[in-house]
Structures are given as C-alpha cells and as structure tokens.
Structure 1
Amino acid sequence: MIDLLKAKKLIFLLVIVISSFLIITGCGRDSGADIQSAEDNSFIMNTLVQMRAHGENAEIAVEESMDRIREIEYLMSRTLEASEVSQINDNPGEFIEISEETQKVIAESLYFAELSSGKFDPSIGPIVDLWGIGTEEARVPSQAEIEEVLEFVDYNNLEIEDNRARVTKEGVKIDLGGIAKGYAADEVREIVKKHDVPSAFINIGGNVLVVGNNVDGSKWRIGIQDPRRGRGNVMAIVESKDQTIVTSGDYERYFEEDGEHYHHIFDPESGYPARTGLLSVTIITDLSLDADALSTIAYVKGLEAGMKFVEDIADVDAMFITEELDVHLSSGLTGIVEITGPDFNLIEGENFAD
C-alpha cells in the first residue's frame, strides 16, 4: 500500500530542495550582485511550483506568472468542480463553451494523440480514477474493472469546435494533466519576456523551463534526477539556455503492493502502468507543452520505438534511462550531456532510427 510517511515527507523535501531537476550554478562574488531578483514557491496544479527571476522587473514577472498558473489550474483542473474541464466531463454530449486557453490545450492534446497513435490520450481520466495513484485510495483494480473503463478511453470521443468542446459518450473523462503544466510553463516564458526579464527559471513539478542565461552569464545547469533516489539526487547534467527540460519517470507518483511497483504513466491501450523497461525519459526542446506530451509518449512507446519517434521530430532531443541503468541519448545530445552518476552507463553509437 501507499507509504504515507513518504508522501508526507514529499512536500517538505520539495520546499527545502530548489528543484529535483535544476542545479543553479553559483555566481561569482561580484557577478550579478546588483541585479534585482525575485522568487516564489507555491503549491499549484497539485504540485510545487518554483520560480526565480533576475532583472529590473523580476518581482512583477514572478507575481504575474504565479497568478497565471493559478488561472490555468482553475480552467483545466479535472478535480475542481467549476473548471472548464470538469464542466465538459460532467455534461457528456453537450458542447461547453471554453476559453481560448483550454481550447488550445485540448487541440494540442488531440494533435499529440493522433501523432502517437493513441499512446498519449487526453481521455485517460477513467483509468486515472480507477487506479487512484497519488491518493490514499490507490489500489490495483481487477482485469474486469480495467476492461470496463477502457471502453471510455478513446480520444475520438472528445470533440472541439471553435470555442466549444464536448465528450460524446457518458463515462468519458478527459484529463489534461499530461500537457497543462507544459502549457503553463510556456505562458510564464511569455510573461518574463513581456517584462524584459533577461534571466529566469520555472519548475512546475519537474517541468523545467529556463529563460536566457543564469544571472552570472553562464548557461543554466539542469540536473536530471536519479530515478532510483529521492529529490535532489542527480545522475546527469545538461547546460541549457532558452529551453525546456521535462522528465517523465516511474518514481514521481506510485505505490507498491505485494512487492510490485505501480506508477502513474498509463498505457491507454492496456489500462496498466506502462511496462517498457524504462525508468525515465527526459525531453529537451523549445516548447514545454510539446515536451510534456512527448516525454509521456516516448516513455509509453519504450526505448527503440520512443527513440525513433523522437528522432523524426525536428529540434527535439531525448534521454532514456533503462532499468539496467543504461543511458541512451538522441543524436542531438551527443557530447552535451554530462553523466555524473557512477552507476550509469552511457550507450553511444546505437541507431534506432532505421
């Protein structure tokens, strides 16, 4: 069953650790000393949101960014009764007027569903509810229960028409959790740029996005979490500027029962947590919304199919970590990723694209 003590410790660890994925390079004694800075840590979208900005308008950029993330949560959370997503789920067959923001995210979720042949599916809600992973009601459902709700997991039952959307079948429940955090991070970047803030990072539950360089002029150093250990333990470092780094792994939300590990990344076809021999997949690209969806898709597809999928998309790179602790990099990351974990093996020279 769920380790409740571990769950209670999680929030505490999140507060004291700047980021499980982000290592901030130290500034020189004089470098950046006179630059205004602002930061905030808030619990939004069911996760810890951490932001830091450096520049003349840093404070207003951080404040506005946090408010924007709350607005997105209010629109797209499936657990808030008044949200637009909840209104869609609670009124099957009826078109619900939605905001431009929700319209965009739903449209993008359908795009990635088509692109991945259903490996990413915004109608995964019934499976999420059945397993209850991340709640005190987490359990292993029976095969019969899974088969019963799989009838409702089909993104073709979600329709969007201009500023309206609906599910066409009672029992279908959409869940934008696999893409909404990425959209929120992209919105933060626009706010930061609007206020001419030259240096900032945002971490929304592991969805990391950096703007510009670090305050000392160097690139941001992004640490990739060791998937076997707690937050703050990294196994690789990537230097980055104006990019997003998003990781999907089997260690973020999970429970154990009878010696089995059950995580929250579901295969929409089977209704079970994806079993592909992977511990995590990290996507590095420009748009956090894309990275959010792509990390899930690549994880569910597995190493070979996932790598082929990523290599076919321009300006997207990925790092796969297998259960054997082998690290596989897409072609664009060769020579860029620094492996710091002594137990990990960097596998180079493989080509899954053929």
Structure 2
Amino acid sequence: MDTVCSVNAFEDGTIELYNSIFEKLDSIEKKFSLTIPDSEICLVNKNAGISSVEVSKEFLYVVNTAQKISELTDGALDISANPLIELWGINTDHAKVPDQDEIKAAMEKVDWKKITTDSDSVFLEEKGMSINLGAIVKGYAADEIIKILKSYKVKKSVVDLGGNIYMFGKKADGSFWNVGIKNPKDPNATPLLIISTAEKSIVTSGNYERYFEKDGIRYHHIFDTKTGIPSANGTASATIVCSKSILADCLSTAFFIMGKEKAAAVIPTIEKEFKTNIAVVFINDKNNFSTLGEIEIHEM
C-alpha cells in the first residue's frame, strides 16, 4: 500500500499469525492498488463510461462504505477525486499548480453520485472518471487485521499501517495505550498531544503529510472537490478515534475538509449509522487544538 506496515502481537505473535496477516495485506494490495494494471480498481477505472466491472465482495464493501460517508458528509469524502489528484501530482516528480481551466476540466469528471454499484459490480458513469481509495483502504485493511488477530485469540496488538493506528486490547499492566498526535508545524518534533485509549483506531489527516511549496505557498494533498484545490479552512490536522478503522480513515479526510462546526453537526447521524462512538481532535493552523466527543488527551 505504498507505505510501511507493521503489526506487533507481542507474546501471542507467531510466524503463522504474521504470515496470515501479510497474506491478507497482499491480497488487498492486488485488488486496490492503482499501480497494478489488472487490479480491480484499475479495471473499474479503465471501463469508466463503457461498462460495469464485476468486483469482489470486499471491493464492493469498501466502495459502498465510501459512498455512504459521501452521502452523510455532503461529498466531503469523494473517491471520484482521482482526476484532481492526478492533475496536481502532489508527492510525485511532476507536482504543479494547475490553471483554472485545467482544474475546471478535471472537476467535470469528479462526482461521487456518478458511481453506480449493484450486488457484484461497480460502474463509473462517464468516460474520464476514475476512483482513488487511498482515503479508505488502509482503514479497511486494519479492520481485517483485527479480525485475524481475534481469530488467533491474540490478547493485545499494535497495528500501524502507514500511520493508520489500531490499538487492540490493553497493555500488559491493563493500562491504556498512548498515541501521539504530530505537531503540524514540526512533524518530526515531540508530539503536540497524546491520546490514551484502548480498542480503538486512530487516524490523522494533516496538511503536513504530503505537499509541495511554490512561491511560498504550501499545497497539500487533501482536496476540496467543491473548489478543486487543497482544502483551506484553517484546519492543519483532523484525528479520528473510533472502533472502526475504515470509518476513522474516511472521516479523517472528510472532517479535515468540513471543519469542526460541520463535523459536529453530522457526527450523531454517522454514529447511529455505523453503531460506534466517534471522537475527533482538530488542530488549526495556529497549533491550537479542540475536540469533539469523549476522549482522554494530554498536552506535551
């Protein structure tokens, strides 16, 4: 998944367990990778505006989950944003600031409502459309790893898929795990905040993760599909804490774009839909933080 993935099952870890986990990750990679030509996502994108593509149940589950979050967040999460992602080229050797005509042309191919699914297939309604599941698939993968850990009767584990964290169980002494939230102004420094939790996924989206600078302006990788440019609402990072990593992954992106006030308005509906509690930590561009929901947090 183009990142470092690590799993620590402590005293319950075995070669058999770890092999099972990384075989599952390899299977997910082969379905969801945009760099594997015969992956399911590439086949769906290649057939945009032409025909529906038969997909696996897990691919359909991920797409349907993303679509539900798009509906509940008024499109703040939009997996059809790939034309914008490719246009800007952030984190590639061809990153650029497009002109307005280029942005407008790309945005004409972005619309989550034009992704059609049925019981076994996905169809992108217009040629030139393409989906990107980078804002959800690591969360899905983390949930699948937790299922494997439970099937092996593992008591506690730390799962880290490129910063998508899942703290399973509690520490040996029964205390909560501590997870740092990076300082957006200096990500390599001491964490700005510490979250203490157990049995939760913690996922952060921040403007310091992938970006480039031009003429003194930072252009990050989280796009507001209503404008076609990186989100610029004063949010530096949004961290989600909940029991479902697929949901935490989606919402970290959506809430980064929405901001605190709009996020607060939709959280009760999302909690009811997904049957889980949600907590959020926002850090703004002045490095001040605020929270939504119940969460144990410490300043460093």
Bin the TM-score by the shorter chain.
over 0.9
d(CA) in 2 for partners of 1:203 and 1:299?
21
Structure 1 residue 217, shift from structure 2 partner: 3.2
Matching residue of 1:255:
212
Matching residue of 1:338:
298
Displaced runs of 4+ in structure 1, greater than 4 A?
A: none
Please show how residues 60-71 of structure 1 align to structure 2 within 5 Å.
60-71=16-27
1:176 to 133, 152, 164: 133
Matching residue of 2:15:
59
Determine whether 1:105 maps to 2:50. Answer: no
Contact 2:44 2:53 in 1 (8 A): yes
Please show how residues 80-99 of structure 1 align to structure 2 within 5 Å.
80-92=36-48, 93-99=50-56
Please show how residues 189-204 of structure 1 align to structure 2 within 5 Å.
189-204=146-161
Please show how residues 125-204 of structure 1 align to structure 2 within 5 Å.
125-204=82-161
d(CA) in 1 for partners of 2:190 and 2:22?
27
| Most deviating of 228-237 and 305-314 | 305-314
* Residues 167, 176 of structure 1: alpha-carbon distance in 2 compared, 3 angstrom cutoff: same
Structure 1 residue 105, shift from structure 2 partner: 0.3
1:270 to 227, 230, 238: 227
Contact 2:185 2:287 in 1 (8 A): no
Contact 2:80 2:111 in 1 (8 A): yes
TM-score (normalised: structure 1)? 0.80
Please show how residues 223-234 of structure 1 align to structure 2 within 5 Å.
223-231=180-188, 233-234=190-191
Matching residue of 1:317:
279
d(CA) in 2 for partners of 1:306 and 1:152?
26
Determine whether 1:47 maps to 2:3. Answer: yes
d(CA) in 1 for partners of 2:203 and 2:24?
20
Structure 1 residue 60, shift from structure 2 partner: 2.5
Contact 2:72 2:270 in 1 (8 A): no
Structure number, greater radius of gyration: 1
Matching residue of 2:253:
296
d(CA) in 1 for partners of 2:87 and 2:170?
43
| Structure 1 alignment gaps of length 5 or more | 1-44, 341-354
Matching residue of 2:178:
221
Contact 2:203 2:241 in 1 (8 A): yes
Structure 1 residue 216, shift from structure 2 partner: 4.0
Structure 1 residue 311, shift from structure 2 partner: 5.3
Determine whether 1:328 maps to 2:290. Answer: yes
TM-score (normalised: structure 2)? 0.94
Q: State the Cα deviation string for residues 87-109 of structure 1 (Å, max 9, x = none).
A: 00001231111111101001111
Contact 2:181 2:192 in 1 (8 A): yes
| Structure 2 alignment gaps of length 5 or more | 272-276
Matching residue of 1:37:
none
Instruction: Calculate the aligned-residue CA RMSD, in Å.
Output: 1.4
Structure 1 residue 230, shift from structure 2 partner: 3.0
Structure 1 residue 313, shift from structure 2 partner: 3.9
User: What percentage of aligned pairs have identical amino acids?
Assistant: 33
> Number of paired residues?
294
* Residues 231, 312 of structure 1: alpha-carbon distance in 2 compared, 3 angstrom cutoff: farther
Matching residue of 1:40:
none
